[in-house]
Homo-oligomer: A and B are copies of this chain.
Amino acid sequence: MKKRIENVKIAYIGGGSQGWAKRLMNDLALEARISGTVALYDIHPEAARQNAKIGNLLSEREEAVGKWTYEATGDIQEALTDADFVIISILPGSFQEMASDVHVPEKYGIYQSVGDTVGPGGMIRALRTIPIYKKIAESIKQYSPEAWVINYTNPMTLCTRTLYEVFPAIKAFGCCHEVFDVQHLLADMVEEATGEKVERRQDIHVNVIGINHFTWIDRASYQNIDLLPLYKQFALKYAETGFEKEPGSWERSVFSSANRVKFDLFNRYGLIAAAGDRHLAEFMPPVYLESPEKVTEWKFHLTPVDFRINDQQSKMERTQKAAAGEEHFELAPSGEEGVAIIAALLGLEELVTNVNVPNNGQIANLPKGAVVETNAVLRFNSVQPVLAGSLPADVHGLVSRHVANQETILRAALDENRQLALNAFINDPLVEPIGLKQAEKLFNEMMDNTKEWIGGGFSHDQNAYASS
């Protein structure tokens, strides 16, 4: 098809972001079939303005075949009005709260490799994020109820869940690239086993089933090759050493791993865990996260917030240069799927990919309404999950525990019910081992550190009963 679609409007909430926004601008510039306007909304309008400058400079470049106008705004109504798409990618709170999420639990012996999804950090972050998403959902309901809403913020599940809870008719879904990395890993495995090079990540077909960052693959194929038996050998072979295309490369980046956690999970549960090791480890009891030394043994990393602060700093400097036209960067596909998804929803292609939406039967043995991750067929104005089947009993046990905790956190956040939040908190597999009293102490400390972001209903004395 040579169809071209013009005058598309994208509202970007968190438009001052240093990461996702830029990847989107890049990918939009490389997609010749679509053009229009991107409204960058941010509570830090200056950051949005700099991104707008970069975007508009980029759009002027000849090799930018997709032409877009970028506008920064601090007014969410203006951003949303007439939007065809709303992308949400925000930092809930600041690095200060994130530091509390990640590092305060370390005083209690709890190590988290990311701290933004589950575990003590993920839960407190969720309590902070849900009120923000409540407001975003209300704004979308008011200003752009027909727009497609794509969420990138973590905790993905609870962000998406909140949007639907507040505005049930919303056309929203969450996107995550973690599955892609597993497809790449499987492609590497195919190459090792057959000598044949897999051309496109998408040629590795996987059945995705689970919740974001704790997603599983129970069927995988490449052409007519069933990849599960291959993976069984692969996971045993590399159980101890891990597998990397370039051996040792996991040590170079805080985001990398040697896939040992994934292999161990397969050897124990028989399914391919489909996220990065640093995410997977957080959903399990502290097997992989017992201590920083264990983390190194399992060949992945903790992600200190200091690292994030420094990384952010250097990104901002590059942003300033780029906005001033002082830095040139090459246009290249980011590996993200956001623009392909937009193209599909505009009717330009049919796409089967993994999305996060409320369960309506796509996973038979998870509760209706819980936000789950499975494949879906994306077409013009349509996202239809496929029936992904059921999780096996033991994996169901692992996943449904987090589903229950997430539902509890949602209720706690919306009702500002401190006891309920605590009850979810102590049921987390990373928290449970420290015992009820320590857990409660940790909870109180973390809640104090985030108190500006949560409702007054959460105040401590509301807690009808404190275990002594």
Contact = CB atoms under 8 A, between A and B. Distances in A.
A351 to B, nearest CB: 10
Interface residues of A, number: 76
A1 interface: yes
A393 B400 contact: no
Interface stretch (A37-45, A59-67, A183-191, A381-389): A381-389
Interface in A357-406: 360-362, 364-365, 367, 375-377, 379-382, 384-388, 392-394, 396-398, 400-401, 404-405
Given A352-B377, A364-B360, A432-B433, A224 B427 contact: no
Nearest to A221: B380
A332 interface: no
A362 B362 CA distance: 8
Nearest to A399: B404
Contacts of A435: 285, 287, 290
A205 B378 CA distance: 11
A244 interface: no
B465 A268 contact: yes
B436 A287 contact: yes
A78 interface: no
Interface in A404-445: 404-405, 407-408, 410-411, 419-420, 423-424, 426-427, 429, 432-433, 435-436
Interface string A284-328: 010100100000000000000000000000000000000000000
Contact of A352 (B268, B350, B380, B408): B350
Contacts of A264: 467
A91 interface: no
Interface of A, secondary structure class, is mixed
A365 B367 contact: yes
Contacts of A205: 347, 350, 379-380, 382
A5 B219 contact: no
A108 interface: no
A405 B401 contact: no
A428 B185 CA distance: 32
14 contacts: A3-B223, A205-B379, A225-B347, A236-B465, A268-B465, A269-B423, A287-B435, A376-B386, A384-B387, A386-B386, A393-B410, A393-B420, A397-B401, A401-B401
A404 B408 contact: no
A360 B427 CA distance: 27
Interface string A262-289: 0010011110000000000000010100
Nearest to A411: B393
Contacts of A348: 223-224
A290 to B, nearest CB: 8
Contacts of A267: 464-465, 467
Contacts of A382: 205, 207, 219, 221
